[in-house]
Structure 1
Amino acid sequence: MLLSLDKTDTRPLHEQVAGAVRRAIAEGECRPGDRLPSARDLSEAMDVNVNTVLRALRELRDEGLLDFRRGRGVTVAEDAGRGSAVLIRVRELVAEAARLGYSRTDLIDMIRGLP
């Protein structure tokens, strides 16, 4: 798994790391059941602190994209592929809306108003 960060991105590093893993899952580079490299290996590959990587991995675990198993490391959750593409699009929509001056509440109101 080849992950890299955009040095010009202003988002916090843990969000960038989580985004890179999300993209790898969404694009099929990491499939359900695949084991991820260790947090230390990921931190070295992306040139970030290991604690930053661990924070990103915990966030992805909480979203249901990753499973933490003692003795097996971190693996992609069995149902990760289903929701990850939608989640990526939602995050992109929220970011674009914010760029245009819309709040999350504005987006929710717009979605509720759809037929």
Structure 2
Amino acid sequence: MMFRIDPTSDEPLFEQLVARVRIGVAKGELAHGERLPGARELAQALEVNVHTVLKAYQVLRDEGLVDLRRGRGAIVTGRAQAELSAVERAIDDLIRAAKAAHLSPDATATLVKEAMR
């Protein structure tokens, strides 16, 4: 799985990493028993502080999505693949409506974040 973050986003970097793993597990892109990149390796690849990656891994551990073991790294222990087709259809509808309203991706994301609070 390719990890990507947006350093210009208002969302903290560690939360972006957590979200990517959650989505990867939900979509079945990350399987039970799969090893995530080491914290140092991922931090270097993303050009972030290693503590950012460690914080993300700790949140995922606390949620039960990964198991952290010294020397073994982070292993996916997450739940089964979720059914996301309804969510993906709703997102497609949202994107069409946002484009029709001439909203930027950032404005659309802000609306979604506010609605989910």
TM-score range, shorter chain: 0.5 to 0.7
Structure 1 segments unaligned to the other structure (5+ residues): 90-94, 105-115
What CA distance in whole angstroms lies between the structure 1 residues aligned with 2:53 and 2:46?
9
TM-score calculated relative to the size of structure 1: 0.66
What CA distance in whole angstroms lies between the structure 2 residues aligned with 1:21 and 1:85?
16
TM-score calculated relative to the size of structure 2: 0.65
| Deviation for aligned residue 1:72 | 2.3
What CA distance in whole angstroms lies between the structure 1 residues aligned with 2:69 and 2:112?
37
What CA distance in whole angstroms lies between the structure 2 residues aligned with 1:55 and 1:14?
6
| Deviation for aligned residue 1:70 | 3.5
Match of 1:113 in 2: none
What amino acid is the match of 2:75? T
CA RMSD of aligned residues (A): 2.7
| Deviation for aligned residue 1:8 | 3.5
What CA distance in whole angstroms lies between the structure 2 residues aligned with 1:84 and 1:41?
29
Match of 2:20 in 1: 20
Q: Give deviations 1:52-86, integer Å, cap 9, x for gaps.
A: 00000000000000011233221001xx1338778
Q: Give deviations 1:35-54, integer Å, cap 9, x for gaps.
A: 11100111122221100000
